[in-house]
């Protein structure tokens, strides 16, 4: 990829010497992760979406889960050591992360938030996450993802 198209996520991975494979697809506007997986011929269970949440404490947390699953907010709060968490409103995503809806990567946000990756990721050699913009997915090992986003595995889905 040329320098003009590098996202924060790609720059951070390159800087840290972490291996990844970029996958691009045509996308003019937000489409859900299940459709992205279909477009790229990827199984939904290894294609992960990123959801940013806010706790009543004022802290933000990032949860990375398979695109065909839903967060269990009670499990998320427990993993984060909070009483409760709620997804951040779409209008606040860019200001908080530097990314836009559908292009939020758990890697390279404006600020490093505590990040939790669904425990099923451990079962796979490679998974796919957003590369930091619409139309870009990264193929990366789950352990490298954890290293890049300083994350932990956790049970966070329904």
pLDDT over 60 at 25, yes or no: yes
What is the pTM assigned to this prediction?
0.93
Number of domains in the chain: 1
Residue 41 belongs to domain spanning: 3-154
- The rounded distance, in Å, linking the Cα atoms of 67 and 34 is 6
d(CA 23, CA 37): 11
Give residue 2's pLDDT.
44
3-state secondary structure of 143: helix
| CATH code (residue 62) | 3.90.960.10
Q: Roughly how many angstroms between the first and final C-alpha of the chain, as a whole number?
A: 37
Residue 124: pLDDT band with limits 50, 70, 90: very high
Q: Please report the pLDDT score of residue 4 as a whole number.
A: 52
pLDDT of residue 38: 87
Predicted local confidence at residue 35, as pLDDT: 82
Distance CA 35, CA 147 (A): 28
Residue 3: pLDDT over 50: no
Residue 15, classed as helix, strand or coil, is: helix
pLDDT digits (tens, 9 = 90+) for 62-96: 999 999 999 999 999 999 999 999 999 999 999 99
């Amino acid at each position: 990829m040329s320098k003009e198209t590098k996202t924060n996520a790609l720059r951070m991975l390159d800087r840290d010497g972490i291996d990844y494979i970029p996958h691009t697809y045509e996308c003019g506007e937000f489409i859900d992760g299940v459709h992205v997986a279909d477009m790229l011929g990827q199984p939904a269970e290894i294609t992960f979406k990123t959801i940013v949440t806010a706790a009543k404490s004022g802290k933000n947390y990032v949860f990375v889960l398979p695109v065909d699953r839903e967060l269990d907010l009670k499990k998320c709060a427990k993993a984060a050591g909070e009483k409760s968490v709620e997804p951040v409103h779409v209008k606040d995503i860019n200001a908080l992360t530097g990314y836009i809806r559908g292009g939020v990567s758990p890697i390279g946000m404006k600020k490093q938030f505590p990040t939790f990756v669904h425990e099923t990721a451990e079962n796979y050699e490679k998974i796919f996450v957003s590369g930091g913009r619409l139309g870009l997915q990264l193929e990366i090992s789950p352990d490298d993802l954890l290293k890049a986003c300083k994350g932990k595995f956790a049970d966070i889905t329904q």
